[in-house]
Amino acid sequence: MAQVKYVSASRVYAKGAPPAVDALDLDIEDGEFMVLVGPSGSGKTTALRMLAGLEPLDGGSVEIGDRDVTFVPPKDRDIAMVFQNYALYPQKTVAENMGFALKMQRVPREQRDRRVREAARLLDLDDQLLERKPKQLSGGQRQRVAMGRAIVREPKVFLMDEPLSNLDAKLRVQTRGQIAELQRRLGITTVYVTHDQVEAMTMGHRVAVLRDGQLQQCATPRQLYDNPVNEFVAGFIGSPAMNLQTVPLTDGGARLAGATLPLPAAVRAAASTAGLSELVIGIRPEHLHLANGSGELGGEVMLVEELGADSLLHVRLAESGNAVVARAEGRKPPIPGQKVTFHVQLEDIFAFHPGTGARLAG
Amino acid sequence: MTALPLRPGHSGRPRPQRLREMSGRAGWGIVAWVVAIAFFLPVLWMVITAFKPESAAETWPPQFIFKPTLSEFRLVFSGMGPFLTHSVVATVGSTILVVLLSVPAAYALSVHPVKHWRDGLFFFISTKMLPIVAAIGPLYVIALHLHLLDSIWLLIILYTAMNLPLAIWMIRSFMLEVPRELLEAARLDGAGRIREITGVILPIISPGLVSTALICVIFAWNELFLALNLTVTNAATMPMYLISSVPQEGLYIAHLSAAATIASVPVILVGWIAQRSLVRGLSMGAIK
């Protein structure tokens, strides 16, 4: 049980290269499930490895439970890590794999066996699996053994580096829920790295979005979705992604698809203060409401993706010809080639600075 | 041929091209067989001759029908004892030393590279570039002063030095194949350096380790030059016995063949085992 703290932690791989992690400040509370998410090269895995002690820091510090562990070797940090490829010892049985850390801590054999068995039960691993080698297990079983190896240690912090990326889609969704549930039950502080924003949103108590080694925003999934601080977070979180369009400013609002889209007063004020002649507006697919010809935004349906419960309309907007995606009801979606119009509510429009990407009047 | 059109892969291809392909493949097959037989024939000749009486061994044209005899083998065995013992001691002793020394050396050059590991690696292999003839003089003088001439210890030391560079290079390449995450997992689990080697790395690279050891065994067993120049009787090895079984006059081909056959058996055996484990060792990267 411990909180984790990054204090302007930096990591530079090569001299002169931009830092892989750039002065990261992050507080993770005791028992929290924190997800680090970002595209590849964003520094999320490096940040995790810095916490594990597998990557030295070039600046700043890392704390676990009020103790500065910046220069503490990995084994003395009281952490357990689940690797992307599980990193199970191929020559050891499942039980030996799970008990290895305890053996290193000179935990007596009976106690070790008991704890391995407990962890196995927790993960629905049959007793007979315990005597098998990793090679004889399925991908899902290996994943659970890797989890078990972490649980057996009863560490202060769990570190997980894309532990679901080697599973097939169905198993991934299932395991996602199991891990989140297990974490809640054990109450152990967890730092979880993924590039999959759906995973991040569904599992994390809070999500830290990284890009180019810099923390963009750290908030609950709901806050990230409803209140992104910049264009990057807005575009990264949510599937399908938010429709982002660079549009010229007019007196009444922003010009899009041959119509003037009214903007909130605060946005207009912020834009004029910044002296902008255009800005980036963002509208989530579900906020483009089909309006039967009476909407402000017109366009032509190019493609319809049926998802069952709803369908995604790929629409080419009138005049500008830009493509947007709209979420529509699943039953009777428009057909390709059909002209449609959308209505957008004022409060559903996000506006961003076209140069810096920062949110205008958020 | 009537079935051919049913196979879609074949029916579409023009006939001459297929013929060319087939004859090409057959051509290479023949070349391979010729080369293989050319390599194997002398060995076969040696084994056959070993079972001939001396009188039948040197006839021309060679006799293929003869009464096989073990008399030459008996003769060889009677004088072989000390030579065999020396060879076994020098080979096994040096191979054990090589493995013991090369594992930590390879570790320091791969998993946790020391400073200037590149130079170290090059230094090891560069020792193999010097012709051994150039070193024999100094070696003789040093051995003389250390009172190690004609001693089995000298051969153990020299064979260890001879095989060490190759062993380090081989084991290093096997160690590089061990997934990094495994070593990191071991570090997180609290394994120290020694545990990391014995508990994680060695079990994984064991096929590679075995093949390296077997290759060292072969090289040490076959070594003649150093043994010939630095030993006389107290440490003379099997290759020297082969030479000594050539008398100054008279017939000796059958005797020599019998001795050579016996000397070859361990190497062929080891080579055969090494070949299998070498393939396993080299395909080690397939662990996941």
Contacts of A128 (CB under 8 A, 6+ apart): none
CB pairs under 8 A between A and B: 58
**Contact status of B179 with chain A (Cβ, < 8 Å):** yes
Omega of the bond prior to B61 within 30 degrees of 0, cis?
A: yes
The CA distance from B75 to the nearest CA of chain A, in Å, is 49
Percentage of chain A modeled with pLDDT above 90: 73
pLDDT of the residue at B24: 81
Highest mean pLDDT: which range of A221-230, B63-72, B271-280:
A221-230
Among A48, A72, A104, most B C-beta atoms within 10 A, so best to mutate, is A104
| Residue B249 maps to a domain | yes
Q: Which domain holds residue B271?
A: 72-286
Structure-token pair, residue A45: 């895995």
Residue B8 — very low, low, confident or very high, per pLDDT cuts 50/70/90?
Answer: very low
Among B174, B177, B180, B189, most A C-beta atoms within 10 A, so best to mutate, is B189
Q: What's the mean pLDDT when you consider all of chain A? A: 91
Contact status, residue B188 vs residue A52, Cβ threshold 8 Å: yes
Q: pLDDT at residue A333 above 90? A: no
Select from A90, A91, A101 the Cβ nearest to the Cβ of B189.
Answer: A101
Residue A193, classed as helix, strand or coil, is strand
**Contact status of B203 with chain A (Cβ, < 8 Å):** yes
Interface of A with B (CB under 8 A): 52-54, 73-75, 79-81, 83-85, 87, 89-92, 100-101, 104-105, 149
| Contacting residues of B for A54, CB less than 8 Å apart | 184, 187-188
| Residue B3 maps to a domain | no
- Chain-centroid distance of CA A37 in Å reads 4
Contact status, residue A298 vs residue A258, Cβ threshold 8 Å: yes
- Do B188 and A80 count as a contact with CB atoms less than 8 A apart? yes
Write the ipTM. 0.84
Number of domains in chain B: 1
The burial of A130, by beta-carbon neighbours within 10 Å (0-12 exposed, 13-18 middle, 19 or more buried), is given as: buried
- Do B188 and A73 count as a contact with CB atoms less than 8 A apart? no
pLDDT of the residue at B287: 42
Residue B234, classed as helix, strand or coil, is coil
Pairing of strands A339-343, A157-161: unpaired
**Tell me: the pLDDT tens digits for A215-274?**
999 999 999 999 999 999 999 999 899 999 999 998 878 888 888 888 888 888 888 888
| Contacting residues of A for B195, CB less than 8 Å apart | 104
Query: Between B16 and A328, whose confidence is greater?
Result: A328
Q: Which domains does chain A show, CATH number per domain?
A: 4-236 (3.40.50.300), 243-352 (2.40.50.140)
Q: pLDDT at residue A146 above 80? A: yes
- Do B188 and A84 count as a contact with CB atoms less than 8 A apart? no
| Residue B2 maps to a domain | no
| Contacting residues of B for A100, CB less than 8 Å apart | 186, 189, 191, 199
Instruction: Report residue B245: phi and psi, to 5°.
Output: -80, 0
Give the Cβ contact number of residue A260 at 10 Å. Answer: 15
Contact status, residue B215 vs residue B158, Cβ threshold 8 Å: no
| Contacting residues of A for B111, CB less than 8 Å apart | none
**Pick from A155-169, B142-156, B268-282: least confident:** B268-282
pLDDT of the residue at B155: 93
**Tell me: the pLDDT tens digits for A92-134?**
999 999 999 999 999 999 999 999 999 999 888 888 899 999 9
Crossing angle of helices A169-186 and A139-152, rounded to 10°: 10
Select from A73, A79, A90 the Cβ nearest to the Cβ of B287.
Answer: A90
H helices present in chain A, as ranges: 44-52, 94-104, 109-122, 139-152, 169-186, 197-203, 221-226, 231-236, 265-273
Query: Between A70 and B75, whose confidence is greater?
Result: A70
Give the chain A residue nearest B191 (alpha carbons).
A104
**Tell me: the pLDDT tens digits for A193-208?**
999 999 999 999 999 9
Give the Cβ contact number of residue B119 at 10 Å. Answer: 10
| Contacting residues of A for B179, CB less than 8 Å apart | 85, 87
| Residue B223 maps to a domain | yes
pLDDT of the residue at B281: 61
CATH number of the domain where residue B241 is located? 1.10.3720.10
| Residue B33 maps to a domain | no
Average pLDDT over residues A305-322: 89
**Tell me: the pLDDT tens digits for B172-209?**
999 998 888 999 999 999 888 899 999 899 998 888 89
Average pLDDT over residues A38-57: 94
Select from A73, A84, A89 the Cβ nearest to the Cβ of B182.
Answer: A89
Select from B179, B181, B190 the Cβ nearest to the Cβ of A101.
Answer: B190
**Contact status of B288 with chain A (Cβ, < 8 Å):** yes
| Residue B37 maps to a domain | no
The CA distance from A77 to the nearest CA of chain B, in Å, is 9
The CA distance from B112 to the nearest CA of chain A, in Å, is 13
Omega of the bond prior to A240 within 30 degrees of 0, cis?
A: yes
pLDDT of the residue at B1: 40
Dihedral sign (CA A211, A216, A220, A225): negative
| Contacting residues of B for A53, CB less than 8 Å apart | 188
Q: Which amino acid is at A102?
A: L
The burial of A78, by beta-carbon neighbours within 10 Å (0-12 exposed, 13-18 middle, 19 or more buried), is given as: middle
Average pLDDT over residues A163-188: 91
Structure-token pair, residue B119: 């130079």
| Residue B153 maps to a domain | yes
DSSP string, A215-280: EEEEE-HHHHHH--SBHHHHHHSSSSPPEEEEEEB-SSEEEETTEEEE--HHHHHHHHHTT-SEEE
| Contacting residues of A for B182, CB less than 8 Å apart | 87, 89
Rounded-to-integer distance, Cα B143 and Cα B158, Å: 10
| Residue B15 maps to a domain | no
Contact status, residue A342 vs residue A301, Cβ threshold 8 Å: no
The burial of B46, by beta-carbon neighbours within 10 Å (0-12 exposed, 13-18 middle, 19 or more buried), is given as: middle
pLDDT of the residue at B7: 47
pLDDT of the residue at A70: 94
Q: Which amino acid is at B39?
A: F
Residue B96, classed as helix, strand or coil, is helix
Select from B190, B199, B287 the Cβ nearest to the Cβ of A105.
Answer: B190
Q: Nearest CA to A238 among A283, A272, A303, A279? A: A283
Average pLDDT over residues A316-338: 88
B47-86 residues labelled b (16+ CB within 10 A) or e (exposed): ebbbbbebebbeeeeeeeebeebeebbebbeeebeebbeb
| Contacting residues of A for B200, CB less than 8 Å apart | 89
The CA distance from B205 to the nearest CA of chain A, in Å, is 10
Contact status, residue B160 vs residue B92, Cβ threshold 8 Å: no
Give the chain B residue nearest A98 (alpha carbons).
B189
Q: Which amino acid is at B250?
A: G
List all residues of chain B from 58 to 97 with a beta carbon under 8 Å from chain A: none
- Do B200 and A87 count as a contact with CB atoms less than 8 A apart? no
